[in-house]
Amino acid sequence: MALDHALLVSLLEKPSSGYELARRFDRSIGYFWHATHQQIYRVLSRMEAEGWISAEVQAGETAPDRKVFSATAKGRVELSRWIAEPVEPEGTRDALMVKLRGAAFGDPQGLIAELEHHRAAHANRLTCYHVIEARDFSGTLDPQRALQYMVLKSGLRFEQGWLEWCEEALDLLRNIKQVKRRRTTS
Amino acid sequence: MALDHALLVSLLEKPSSGYELARRFDRSIGYFWHATHQQIYRVLSRMEAEGWISAEVQAGETAPDRKVFSATAKGRVELSRWIAEPVEPEGTRDALMVKLRGAAFGDPQGLIAELEHHRAAHANRLTCYHVIEARDFSGTLDPQRALQYMVLKSGLRFEQGWLEWCEEALDLLRNIKQVKRRRTTS
DNA sequence: GAATACTATGCAACGAGTTGCATTGCAACC
DNA sequence: GGTTGCAATGCAACTCGTTGCATAGTATTC
């Protein structure tokens, strides 16, 4: 149920159309939640039906019509309720880890390209976050900004961690000896 | 499709019943993939139907019967195929981040307990991983162990990162000024 | 002797996320 | 003047994961 609330937060920060939200989720918001436009439109309809958000159609003269959503008072209440309700930390789920561990039964070196790709992707995200940091979070910050910054900082921290880990893993893969194919129980 | 392959890897490492797999996913394997027993049983049936794994029923004299699964040659091939196919790094999805950012529109201090809970959970996982590290990964490691260790290391790194971040976030929340309720667009 | 807990397996309903496709209109390019 | 690309919205089918429940025998505890 968390996409609902991520959208509520986004709409409280700035009323927007589904399309804008999708773009922001692809960019800056991407570092705290990820979603596709299809999903976003679906959830927006549902939330409108429940009265958490309300829409205002802006007829575009040159561009297509836009439905601009804002959070309602009811939506605010729902958000507070949800924030107060405890959640457990997420369980790990990363395909790359499965692959690494599975590579012991195949060709570890085959993962080098994959890891290099991941390293590049994480380096990319990291610089992206650094740009946002410099642009939006220098100087003194009001409480709202400070909270946003804290979220960004987790992104910075984790991308940095990924980067270092990728290096470490690449080192290992490059130096590992070719594993002998061992038959376990067929 | 990654639970399938996580199970294949586990079964290559050690043939097991669904129940055993569920227990291992709750413990040591939990740091590289998470799943419930219901899900595991369902996927095991599917994989058996596809011929990736085969079952042997062990009639328990004192305990209930167990279906012990092992990966077949076909399963091995499928695993290699899947490992070779590229994946993109996962998008971020953490409810806690949404909450932090949403707290700007409510009561930031209300999250302190939640963050303390998360900090404790991560500290717990971290010590758990340290125990595994000391128990299973000291001394020289063959290639398979080395790969497993690399996966564990990502767990260690991220739990450590979480812990530090929780501290930082708690510091912020404790010192943040009470946010004035501001009405945005209704 | 009854209640609780653990081993061991599974079904069914639901909710969340992914993938593929469809539509309309404007703008710019070649 | 046709093709490509972007703004803007959405449906439908599917897979993956969660939650709640069911069963059945053994072992232990009160």
Q: pLDDT tens digit string along B11-60?
A: 999 999 999 999 999 888 888 899 999 999 999 999 999 999 999 998 76
Average pLDDT, rounded, for chain B? 93
First to last CA, chain B: 43
Alpha helices in A85-178 (DSSP H): 95-103, 112-136, 143-175
Residues of B with Cβ-Cβ distance to A33 under 8 angstroms: 92-94, 97-98
Strands A53-58 and A66-71: antiparallel
| Strand D contact nucleotides, protein CB < 7 Å | 7-12, 15-21, 24-27
Cβ contact A184–B12 (<8 Å): yes
In this complex, the answer to whether residue B39 has its CB under 7 A from any atom of chain D, a nucleic strand, is yes
Q: Report the sign of the C-alpha dihedral through residues A94, A96, A99, A103, in that order.
A: negative
Residue at A108: amino acid letter: P
Strands B66-71 and B53-58: antiparallel
Give the Cα separation of B36 and B41 in Å (integer).
9
Reduced to 3 states (helix: H, G, I; strand: E, B; else coil), residue B101 is helix
| Strand C contact nucleotides, protein CB < 7 Å | 7-12, 15-21, 24-27
Task: Put residue A54 in one of left, alpha, beta given phi > 0 → left and psi -120 to 50 → alpha.
Answer: beta
CATH topology for the A2-84 domain:
Arc Repressor Mutant, subunit A (1.10.10)
The whole-angstrom distance between B157's CA and the closest CA on chain A is: 7
Q: What is the pLDDT of residue A122?
A: 96
Task: For residues A10-21, give the mean pLDDT.
Answer: 96
Nucleotide with the nearest C1' to A64 CA: D8
Residue A58 belongs to what H/E stretch? strand A53-58
Domain ranges across chain B: 2-84, 95-175
Q: Which residue has the higher pLDDT, B173 or A26?
A: B173
The whole-angstrom distance between B62's CA and the closest CA on chain A is: 26
Q: CA B58, C1' D30: Å apart?
A: 34
